[in-house]
Chain A
């Protein structure tokens, strides 16, 4: 069973409008690379040059923010659900 990924509206231009896509990977890093192979542009939208998840992008594994898990190295298992959301913040 693959890993289901929920894609926010602003990033659906990379997924032909799909709001849920499937991917594989033993870690979030591997999943992002797998997704990028089919949905070009997604990786740059999620990960910075330092290899970490962008500061203002929230990535969740099964409801938990990966900042409180292992960041980009967060381990994944089959059947996990990953959600992506740009932060909502301001001054």
Chain B
């Protein structure tokens, strides 16, 4: 297909323009596209972050009432710690602080899935020092769940054992706890 502007070079850029609801299809070569301003070739290359912030904006272009309500609530998401709003986050493509992860958590999993091939949970190194608490906390939670189960099934002997184990773990956590007495 030849370029509709110069009729010389082959058309390499194909796009549809929608102005006031009327569609026109366009086929131009790169040279004419540049000249006519269909595309802008800025000084800076299109960065990964531009692509990323594009990923976050999956708002439909035509809104019905229900989705527009959703989006309003989305815009009100705000990190109380650093003050960054969800809207700002989607523009910059970067978090403002560690607490943003909590503040925007309801919106983040789709983003993580896209960026990390469907993964949303960390599997890897845990910090050696502060992580020992995390490891113990994990154990503690597991034991507490087990305790509840045992109590419900009225296996009190075993429950007592688990309760003692929980006490042991809790003793272990204290010395690492932020230096409080």
Q: Please indicate whether A and B come from the same complex rather than being unrelated chains.
A: no
Interface residues of B (CB under 8 A from A): none
